[in-house]
Amino acid sequence: MSEQIVTGDSLEGQIGNLHKEDVVLDFAGTRPDQLIVDCYYRGTVDGYADFGIFVNLGEHVTGLLHRSELPRRLESLGWEEGDTAYVQVTNVRDNGNVDLGWSLRNSGREFRGAYVHDPEDTLDQEEIDSRLQQSDAGSNGSGPEQVSGAQTRSDPDSEPSETGASEHDFERGRSEQEAASENGAVPTDLNRSEIEQLREQIGDVVRLEGLVADVRQTSGPTVFSIQDETETVDCAAFVGAGARAYPDVDTGDYVRIVGEVRERRGELQVETEQLEVLTDEDATAVVDRMDDAIQAEAEVDPLDPLVPDSAVESVLEPVREGATAIRRAVIEARPIVVRHETSVDGYLAGAALERAVLPLIEDEHTAADAVYHLFDRRPLEGAYDMDDATNDVTSLLASRDRHQQKRPLFVFAATGSTSDSLDGLELLRIYDTDVVVLDSAPGDSEVRDAVSTLVNPELVGSETETSTTAIATAIAVHINPEVRGDLSHLPAASFWKDVPEIYTELARESDYSSSETDNLREAVALEAYYQSYDGKRELISDLLFEESVSVGLAEQVSEQFREKLSREIETAEENIDRRSQGGVAFAVLDTDAFTHRFDFPPTDLLLDEIHRRNQDGTFVTLGVESDEITVRSTTPIDVSTVVEQLQTDVPNAGVTPRDGHNRIGFVSGERERVLDAVYDAIATTLQKTHAN
């Protein structure tokens, strides 16, 4: 047994090779602030309360083990006053209260070292010996270093280490490892075992092949987490206390291991006897086997969309491809980044995907914060340009280098399907990043070559209008069928006008009236404007999915929406320039001069509302800024054709298409000439459309 004194308030640097979680402390101090947070202490049960158990850690120092920290009911613990308890100090409050955490270990021998924590250095040798005699903590046999002048004693009877093997066991493994190193490769006469079969092979020597998912150096062995196509298991290799075994083997290597299967505290572990890094055909075989298994697990079953929407049904194959890609990213612990347009349709589509994916991440990964570092939803204003892509690539490279995070999967909703996004998408492709794009607006076919999956009904010839949210819900139910009922009201809220009856009825079946989906639409539009760079995960979730608050919250926020929009519309309509050319009625608003550009509503939403209120026959609404014209038309219009004519009519104006299919950019010095020419260009384009 190994024991020693810790005299200060810092454990690091005083306990040799052992880690905080490996040792138990006997507290000899007199004040709560002398305790070391995150360390384990031996105490005695001092009493029960409805809310937890009081544990006496030392003279005048008592902590509370709250009932929320316990894995079972208080009355089932069987503890009595005076019983020894092992607890972790999780917090020492300013008022002296001590918060304690649960320890799965209920015997000192389950720790690998015992220490007397004497922060004031007041104990004499007789008192030290007395305290040490009360401890029954185990050791890995190596014995920690002497610290702070205290004596260290070693017990010749070594207990098993945290990895489940004694030093004698590891000495055998070390000899075999050295022999294997001398003889070369790991023998392959054993049949390969799958990790999920190991519970039936406890005590047997097995051969495993898989990926090194993690390497941890403990105070005893080196622990390699090995993942094959079925599960993951820890494999411990020992060459000396705290010494790195197989130093050339690292995370990401594909290896073959021979070792004995052991069980420790209910967990399986392989005591590594021989280990070899695989190369060439051997490594390729493991990669292919694991890839096939992951793909099979990620594959989705064919499901129907929420309702028979012909536009969505036209893209069911890429819908299922996108859902499979997202499920695979969850299984592989790859971050999923959803970039969606700041519009209502973008927000609802992103929220639908989020609703489906987060439960899968929680089920697949035990870390409490996995849903935050493995899923991110961020709004995107307009197309995915180089500024956005540069920011995303910088972030993913930093996460890779600092946190060893895997390359993410990017999902674009209601944006990313036009050529305006090609530069940004190409930058992602350089870094081998998978991309899924779903968009109901007209897209450009060249985007297909820059992304993994493109879901766009217009590009497959569908003539039925739908929303990106309708597409996203189809993907979401394939990802996670259990959320189907949660999403029924979202498509109806995603249409600003002419909501398809199939979606109105679907929402009604989920107890959402038309007025309630209107409120949702307007509330999301208002919240999307504020903190526009942030996805507002919790707020959007409350608006859309939390029944206890969603209706009241949506009603309140939508009322603000209507008040703010009404005031701005009143000002704008007094300053609209109305004209007609070539049979087309135009409503033109100088948004630089006659809107509050940094107040709600944003220009796009304002123009949409003006356009909805002024439609009569072939009608076009133009929002004119210093270097850009935004186009809204009752009749579908090919803005790229308009741009081509303007480039001919105003050759030195630098006319270009912007942000998909509804903006025209130019240099501000040619604003008036472009505006004079744009009426004829639009009228001519619409006439050609009607003729065809």
The Cα 247–Cα 259 span in angstroms is: 18
Confidence of residue 615 (pLDDT cuts 50, 70, 90): low
In sequence order, what E strands does 408-449 have?
409-413, 434-438
Domain definitions of the chain by residue range:
3-134, 167-296, 299-556, 575-691
The pLDDT of residue 174 is above 90: no
- The CATH architecture to which 3-134 belongs is Beta Barrel (2.40)
Confidence of residue 183 (pLDDT cuts 50, 70, 90): very low
Q: Give the whole-number percent of the chain exceeding pLDDT 70.
A: 85
The pLDDT of residue 628 is above 50: yes
The half-sphere exposure of 621 on its side-chain side, counting CA atoms within 13 A, is 22
The Cα 84–Cα 56 span in angstroms is: 10
- pLDDT tens-digit series, residues 504-562: 999 999 999 999 999 999 999 999 999 888 999 999 999 999 888 888 899 999 999 99
Q: Could you tell me the two tokens for 484?
A: 């189907």
For 152-204, give the secondary structure using H, E and C.
CECCCCCCCCCCCCCHHHHHHHHHHHHHHHHHCCCCCCCCECCHHHHHHHCCC
Looking at residue 149, its pLDDT comes to 28
The Cα 532–Cα 600 span in angstroms is: 12
Percentages helix, strand, coil for the chain, rounded to the nearest 5?
Answer: 40, 20, 35
Task: Give every CB contact of residue 120 below 8 A, 6+ residues apart in sequence.
Answer: 28, 29, 30, 34
Quick one: CA dihedral 635, 638, 643, 649, positive or negative? negative
In this structure, which topology does domain 167-296 adopt according to CATH?
OB fold (Dihydrolipoamide Acetyltransferase, E2P) (2.40.50)
Looking at residue 2, its pLDDT comes to 38
CATH of 575-691, one of 3.30.70, 3.30.420, 3.10.310, 2.10.25: 3.10.310
CATH of 299-556, one of 2.40.50.140, 2.40.40.20, 3.90.1640.30, 2.40.70.10: 3.90.1640.30
Q: What is the pTM of this model?
A: 0.67
The pLDDT of residue 6 is above 90: no
Looking at residue 412, its pLDDT comes to 98
Examine domains 3-134 and 167-296 and report if their fold is the same.
yes
CB 265 within 8 A of CB 289: no
Confidence of residue 373 (pLDDT cuts 50, 70, 90): confident
**What mean pLDDT do residues 145-166 have?**
34
Residue of 265 and 253 predicted with greater confidence = 253
**What mean pLDDT do residues 650-665 have?**
86
